[in-house]
Amino acid sequence: VEFLYCDLASMKSIRQFVQQFRAKNCPLHVLVNNAGVMLVPERKTEDGFEEHFGLNYLGHFLLTNLLLDTLKQSGTHSHSARIITVSSATHYVGKLLLDDLQSRCSYSPHGAYAQSKLALVLFTYRLQHLLTANGSHVTANVVDPGVVNTELYKHVFWVVKVVKWMTAWLFFKTPEEGASTTIYAAVSPEMEGAGGCYLYNEERTKSADVAYDEELQRRLWTESCKMVGISDEASRLP
């Protein structure tokens, strides 16, 4: 196992990581987008993005796009390369505000977190559409790991922390259990060639209705390209 440093809250760090990875001339068969923060106070990344949107979503958007060529070269007809993005059930209550993606008008930690997780689902569906249109041997799926007992809850109110401490053994998944659906999406033969799926407990399920809005998917993709400074070649595709 070899580790390369990558700060998903820094566009510069992401680009440096991709350069280092490409220099190794390694194939890339599985990419898991799993970094994230939750319910943090209002603050910005070094690029000036609201932290939930910048780290949870835009960082993965840029990383995935910069690695797409390597993924396409690594996938074959019988063994597709796989992109797995970790979202959350909170996306069901998320609202994507295209005119205020940075939550400048009114900041809510819950609203910003839910929006970032909805953006990841919209991104995955649009990405799969583009991969299919290009005939690429790459699949993109999105995973809901469930409620997992991790340090992600360190910014919640102290009463919630106490309740979590008392009930985690009963209601929360362990990190190993929370990772199971991601691993399933990454290696299961049943997922070979299957893309554009929302997975929960290793089963395909329905995401929020708004996530299937293709016009919203396109608009988010175009705006995201502008924000991270990459070419929106996909805008020419249906």
Model confidence over 102-119: pLDDT tens digits? 888 889 988 999 999 999
pTM: 0.88
| Catalytic one of 57, 113, 184, 198 | 113
The span from the CA of 171 to the CA of 178, in Å, is: 12
pLDDT in tens, 184-223: 999 999 999 999 999 999 899 999 999 999 999 999 999 9
Task: Reply yes or no on whether 107 is catalytic.
Answer: no
In this prediction, residue 86 carries a pLDDT of 94
Residues 6+ apart with CB under 8 A from 110: 39, 90
Whether 139 has a pLDDT exceeding 80, the answer reads yes
What are 25-69's pLDDT values in tens digits? 999 999 999 988 887 889 999 999 999 999 999 999 999 999 999
Structure confidence at residue 12 as a pLDDT band (50, 70, 90): very high
In this prediction, residue 17 has a pLDDT band, given cuts at 50, 70 and 90, of: very high
- Percent of the chain having pLDDT more than 70? 85
- Order the strands of the 81-86 sheet from edge to edge: 30-33, 81-86, 138-144, 198-200, 203-205
Per-residue pLDDT, 234: 58
Decide the pairing of beta strands 198-200 and 138-144: parallel
Q: Which domains, ranges and CATH numbers included, belong to the chain? A: 11-233 (3.40.50.720)
Residue 21 has pLDDT above 90, yes or no: yes
Please tell me what DSSP assigns to residue 1: -
DSSP letter for 148, please: B
Asked if 148 and 172 touch (Cβ cutoff 8 Å), the reply is yes
Burial of 205 (0-12, 13-18, 19+ CB in 10 A): exposed
